[in-house]
Amino acid sequence: MSAWDSRLFGAAYDLGVEREWLARPVARLLWGADVRPLYDTLRRLADLPVGTSLLDAPCGGGVALRGLRPGQGLRYVGADLSQAMLRRTRRRAQRAGLPADVVAADLARLPFADGGFDVCVTFNGLHCVPDPAGAVGELARCLAPGGRLVGDLIVRGAGRRQDAAIAALRRLGIFGEGGTVAELRAWCAAAGLRIEHLERSGAVVAFSAV
């Protein structure tokens, strides 16, 4: 069983990510990062217009749902390999009164048609998958022309302390191959995406691409 399917690990992850007041000091301590831009991005999801189709992959415990509002009129699809995380997403959507489809899916091969979504979001996930370049390519494939990919990830190269933490999490099987800022730019370019915004704070990079 992977760490992501552990109920204890999932609860600890949700505790940290879903509570901004806790995530901010932890991110500052561990990654040297200000994560306020991530939460600003989540809040801006409430501005997406009626009829927007939104893919959240990997959805984790459904952190993107915190930015949506009942009656917004979106099509939300959450995809993740972890059944534990999918259950958390489903429960969060039910508590918030948000319609949501959750799908067991691997970012290496998403079970969606080309161009099926207006927006794809990927929060705290690209540094966990074995092939982040392939994952970006799959997310881009799922975007309609003019669609937007929005996300964040932890990158190497911010400093010795952060790189040591990344290496330790890789040994535990929590992080995957990961990459640098330059590699993120290359993944997007190879997938036919144009980066419109990229903001780095410590080891955390928030970005959007079209």
Which tens digit of pLDDT belongs to each residue from 80-129?
999 999 999 999 999 999 999 999 999 999 999 999 999 999 999 999 99
Quick one: pLDDT at residue 5? 57
Which tens digit of pLDDT belongs to each residue from 9-63?
555 566 567 778 888 999 999 999 999 999 999 999 999 999 999 999 999 999 9
Task: Report the alpha-carbon angle 42-1-149, nearest 5.
Answer: 25
Comparing CA positions, the residue from 172, 173, 175, 197 lying closest to residue 184 is: 197
Comparing CA positions, the residue from 23, 119, 25 lying closest to residue 77 is: 119
Q: Which residue has the tokens 């959450």?
A: 78
Q: Which residues pair with 207 in a beta bridge?
A: 151, 198
Quick one: pLDDT at residue 28? 95
* Beta strands at 143-154 and 204-209: parallel, antiparallel or unpaired: antiparallel
Runs of H (alpha helix) within 59-146: 83-96, 132-141
Q: What's the domain count of the chain?
A: 1
What is the residue range of 15's domain? 3-209
Amino acid at position 166, single letter:
I
Which tens digit of pLDDT belongs to each residue from 154-192?
999 999 999 999 999 999 999 999 999 999 999 999 999
Read off the pLDDT band of 1 (50, 70, 90): very low
Q: At 109, which CATH number?
A: 3.40.50.150
Sheet with 75-80, edge to edge strand ranges:
101-104, 75-80, 53-56, 117-123, 143-154, 204-209, 195-201
* Beta strands at 204-209 and 195-201: parallel, antiparallel or unpaired: antiparallel
